[in-house]
Amino acid sequence: MPATTSEQDAIDFMQAIGLLVRRTRNASYAGELSMTESVVIERLANDGPATTAALAREEGMKPQSMGATIAALEDRGIVKRTPHATDGRQMLIALTFKGVELRRKNREAKRMWLTKAIAALDAQERDTLFQAAAIIKRLAGQ
């Protein structure tokens, strides 16, 4: 059964957003990171140190899968493990200076690419884009 017009519009919208996200991601240094690794770095930067189990729970992953992600980040010096202050059985995962700098460089590269891409639009397109951004925020519940 073919999709209705509104269903197809929703599909087209999701694909366009996904394409923009991928293009922005490709403009950063994040190509060396998996999507999960990037999400972990963002979580640690925003929320502070966390256990592997807590990170797995927040991302809806199995702890073993998150453990592999953490190990890969640790091998590259992006995160470090430190003992939990109150539970000696647990380790907290935190960003290293290298991880903080990688995140900063990634964010700056994305911002620069998007700023340049938006500047290439004409004034009416920019106005439309910024109006759409407000609507997208509402859709996302922010």
CATH number at 30 reads 1.10.10.10
Q: Which CA distances in Å does 49 have to 52, 55, 94?
A: 10, 10, 5
Range of the domain at 135: 23-139
Q: Please tell me the predicted confidence (pLDDT) of residue 27.
A: 80
Q: Say how many C-beta atoms besides its own lie within 10 A of residue 103's C-beta.
A: 22
Q: What pLDDT sits at residue 3?
A: 61
Token pair in block for residue 75: 């091998």
Residue 104 lies in a domain: yes
Q: In this structure, is residue 8 part of a structural domain?
A: no
What confidence score (pLDDT) does residue 64 get?
94
Helix (H, G, I), strand (E, B) or coil at 79: strand
CB-based contacts of 80: which residues, under 8 Å, 6+ apart?
74, 93, 94, 96
Asked if residue 9 belongs to a domain, the reply is: no
Q: Please state the pTM of the whole predicted model.
A: 0.75
Flag whether 13 is in a domain.
Answer: no
Residue type, 108: E
- pLDDT confidence band for 134 (50 / 70 / 90): very high
For residue 124, being part of any structural domain is answered with yes
In a domain, 86, yes or no: yes
Q: Is residue 15 part of a domain?
A: no
Tell me how many helices (H) and strands (E) the chain has. Answer: 6, 2
pLDDT for 31 equals 61
Total domains, the chain? 1
Q: How many CB atoms lie within 10 A of CB 52?
A: 23
Please check whether residue 3 lies inside any domain of the structure. Answer: no
